[in-house]
């Protein structure tokens, strides 16, 4: 297998046109390649500047999970810190987790940040939403978002090798019109769903927010999962009141 390491977007586009297979840390595909055969040509974005940003409002697809720190919002940092083992986090990348993994541990966190994705194809780069990235398995360059007022993350305890644990991500954002919106995303099994509600800051708005979230797709969650969503949303708004 020949591995290309582009240092510019034009180089990366050329390698895509040459049928190079994009890879991140290869933590998910290595066993498959050993079984089915390695591709003739692969491409890693590890040397591409646009894929290596790590800033308060941007995160590159080639960033290794163990590098994600307090420069990014709490929800994203905590999500990255719970993925696999330390060895996995030192090899796995943001793009590989969101696009290449069936678990997509970072996806709920990115959804509640209302993150936008910049992707690359043979024609160049463009911005799109996460739903399209996941559905079409685009080559992700980076994510960007606006810093939330506050955020939170919960991942249920689970045994290694067992079913995917429940994940609940939450974030409260100030909208351009001055209002606040609370976004919640849940991974239940392999399915990720999300919902949002306008939010009045202060404890007296908690029930309204919960009722509004229940009217979204989150209302179809099993009772136990809905209870955890209620707990996480309530806890987030209490933390906000205590700031």
Residue 29 has a pLDDT of 61
Strands in 2-4's sheet, in edge-to-edge order, are 2-4, 41-44, 21-23
In the predicted model, what is the mean pLDDT of residues 113-138?
94
Number of helices (H) and strands (E), helices first, in the chain? Answer: 9, 12
Residue 59 has a pLDDT of 98
Residue 221 scores a pLDDT above 90:
yes
Residue 20 scores a pLDDT above 90:
no
Residue 28 scores a pLDDT above 80:
no
What confidence tens digit (pLDDT) does each residue in 166-218 have?
999 999 999 888 889 999 999 999 999 999 999 876 556 789 999 999 999 99
Would you list the domain boundaries of the chain? 2-31+48-144, 150-241
Rg (CA), the chain: 19
Residue 25 has a pLDDT of 56
In the predicted model, what is the mean pLDDT of residues 226-234?
96
| Average model confidence (pLDDT) across the chain | 90
CA distance 100 to 96: 5
Residue 26 has a pLDDT of 55
Residue 22 has a pLDDT of 83
Domain 2-31+48-144, what architecture? 2-Layer Sandwich (3.30)
Question: 177 exposed, middle or buried (CB, 10 Å; 0-12, 13-18, 19+)?
Answer: exposed
What share of the chain in percent tops pLDDT 90? 70
Distances (CA, A) of 204 to 26, 121, 187, 196, 201: 48, 47, 28, 18, 8
In the predicted model, what is the mean pLDDT of residues 62-88?
95
Asked if 1 contacts 42 with a C-beta cutoff of 8 angstroms, the reply is yes
Beta strands 124-128 and 150-155, pairing class: unpaired
Q: Which pTM was predicted?
A: 0.92
3-state SS, residue 14: helix
């Amino acid at each position: 297998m020949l591995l290309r390491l582009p240092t510019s977007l034009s180089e990366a586009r050329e390698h895509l046109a040459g049928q190079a297979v994009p890879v991140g840390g290869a933590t998910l595909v290595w066993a498959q390649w050993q079984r089915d055969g390695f591709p003739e040509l692969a491409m890693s974005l590890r040397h591409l500047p646009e894929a290596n940003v790590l800033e308060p409002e941007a995160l590159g697809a080639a960033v290794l999970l163990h590098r994600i720190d307090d420069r990014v919002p709490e929800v994203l940092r905590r999500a990255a810190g719970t993925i696999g083992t330390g060895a996995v986090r030192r090899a796995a990348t943001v793009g590989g987790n969101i696009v290449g993994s069936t678990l997509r541990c970072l996806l709920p966190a990115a959804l509640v940040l209302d993150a936008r994705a910049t992707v690359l194809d043979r024609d160049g780069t463009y911005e799109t939403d996460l739903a399209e990235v996941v559905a079409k398995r685009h080559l992700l360059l980076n994510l960007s978002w606006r810093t939330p007022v506050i955020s939170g993350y919960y991942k249920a305890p689970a045994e290694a090798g067992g079913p995917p644990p429940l994940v609940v991500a939450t974030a409260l954002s100030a909208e351009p019109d001055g209002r606040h919106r609370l976004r919640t995303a849940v991974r239940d099994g392999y399915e990720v769903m999300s919902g949002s509600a306008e939010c009045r800051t202060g404890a007296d708005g908690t029930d309204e927010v919960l009722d509004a979230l229940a009217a979204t797709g989150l209302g179809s969650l099993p009772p136990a999962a809905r209870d955890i969503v209620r707990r996480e949303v309530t806890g987030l708004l209490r933390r906000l009141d205590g700031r």
